[in-house]
Structure 1
């Protein structure tokens, strides 16, 4: 019976850690903290999948996400919100604020109803709630950094924009959701309908490159993150993620996300992890 309830509340997409642009709970992190990272990832994946389910109407998405919020705050006890219950236990055990999880829920509720972003600044506001909380949770779990969240926010937001560009056609076709800023599209003479083409138009290519330029600016801020962290292992992890992000930006500049999802091979991904971790050690 419990399994039926879980299925009716969650909306599994089939995406797992292999889909992500960062190593979730990798061997680079301390073994004692990996279970907490796994719980956080499972929670984030569950609520993200609800927001991204093309079969659910917006009001149903918001209702389910509100249930996750209530469970996170201890006001909802049903088994169907097991990942929120586990997240609540991790927060209690680690002493980390619930704010990061509430920010994620806020962003995914926005995903349920908002399908366009007028300006780059509006997109970054969304990323500050949909991506930055991941880095903030990891920093808090590992003892923080010497200069707050700024560099971690920049790295997480860069990864989010990279993912939005990788999935730009699928998001448009399945959800009518477009993360490319509308004013940049208008200035370039591009239209959202261009995302349904088999290849990018010159105008759409201009917008994609402009987003990659902005992502490079975020990565320039994120560059200082490994040296700021109190945890050497998290520094190695963040350095590996920086290497992954830089290579993905290069691939998106050279490739066409409408012709096929631009991603790294397993070998390239592993090499970035090794190279990044080595750079942090040096």
Structure 2
């Protein structure tokens, strides 16, 4: 049964995130199994809310997004109660959550991020956007760190910062794609500065302004990326290497978005196979470098709730 769950989760991660799939291969086998099981649940919840399969194919769900969210919350609680899970994604989540004693509040905090989408939350200031980033990605970083054996709050804080950095990068890369499905994570005060409504983001005449706002997001992510590296010394060596590699791969996407400027949304921005190999090697140096550096303070603009 467990082998089947791991196979399902591995296929999910390969189809859903080439970047995370590449980095996850660096974990030791046991940590990798748990990481892909958690990823499968996160991906499943995201797709259920959007009525998709791996972010692409429409699943054709007839019930409303609110009903689907309620079903996810109910199934998550039942998984913690030890009930038998028929859905592979929830069976995977149950296995990893109970094995590593992941607090239920973290899983529900993650679902709160999807609730923000369902409620069509408006993000008035950048702090609101950062709150969303925490729920959909920062708390996932916390759960991943727990899988790697971290329990102390300072290390979990750094893991949260990495997830926030990842999500800021994702938002910058996907501004136009998100706008096409009626979603906007850019703060309203930024849009007002350029006199752009969320509905106008896809208009080519606004690409210069979109490029400026994307750069702001990438710049904002940078101190969170720096902060995240401070957590590497607390992780086992192979886990630290995997995290450092994922750090480099996602950060590079943001760098490429800024370099492409107004053309960043003509096609999807990604890191090539050669880029990933280079960043795998660089990850070894980052792990070593993090162990010899003095800890730096965390970004003050947003910090995960305790």
- TM range, normalised to the smaller chain? 0.7 to 0.9
CA RMSD of aligned residues (A): 2.6
Once residues 235 and 145 of structure 1 are traced to their aligned partners in structure 2, the CA distance between those partners, rounded to angstroms, is: 15
**Structure 1 stretch 114-123 or stretch 48-57: which is displaced more?**
48-57
Deviations 1:42-90 (A, max 9, x none): 11110011122376533233233234323323386562x3322332232
Distance 1:226-1:134 versus aligned 2 partners, 3 A rule: same
Once residues 248 and 145 of structure 1 are traced to their aligned partners in structure 2, the CA distance between those partners, rounded to angstroms, is: 30
Once residues 25 and 76 of structure 1 are traced to their aligned partners in structure 2, the CA distance between those partners, rounded to angstroms, is: 32
Deviations 1:169-203 (A, max 9, x none): 222212x1111111111123333233223475322
Q: Do residues 223 (structure 1) and 238 (structure 2) align?
A: no
1:46 to 16, 41, 44: 44
Deviations 1:116-155 (A, max 9, x none): 3111111111221211122212221222176332221111
Once residues 184 and 95 of structure 2 are traced to their aligned partners in structure 1, the CA distance between those partners, rounded to angstroms, is: 35
1:85 to 83, 86, 91: 91
**Structure 1 stretch 38-47 or stretch 248-257: which is displaced more?**
248-257
Once residues 191 and 131 of structure 1 are traced to their aligned partners in structure 2, the CA distance between those partners, rounded to angstroms, is: 26
Once residues 288 and 159 of structure 2 are traced to their aligned partners in structure 1, the CA distance between those partners, rounded to angstroms, is: 19
Q: Which runs of 5+ in 1 are unaligned?
A: 1-13
Tell me the residue number matched to 1:17: 14
SS across alignment from 1:260: coil
2:254 to 249, 264, 267: 249
Distance 1:197-1:40 versus aligned 2 partners, 3 A rule: same
- 1:205-220 aligned at under 5 Å gives the runs 205-220=211-226
Q: Do residues 69 (structure 1) and 90 (structure 2) align?
A: no
Tell me the residue number matched to 2:131: 125
Distance 1:69-1:173 versus aligned 2 partners, 3 A rule: same
Tell me the residue number matched to 2:160: 153
SS across alignment from 2:149: coil
Q: Do residues 116 (structure 1) and 114 (structure 2) align?
A: no
Residue 251 of structure 1 contacts residue 262 of structure 1 at CA under 8 Å; is this kept in 2? yes
TM-score (norm 2): 0.77
Once residues 199 and 61 of structure 1 are traced to their aligned partners in structure 2, the CA distance between those partners, rounded to angstroms, is: 37
Q: Which runs of 5+ in 2 are unaligned?
A: 1-10, 53-59, 290-306
TM-score (norm 1): 0.83
Q: Do residues 235 (structure 1) and 232 (structure 2) align?
A: no
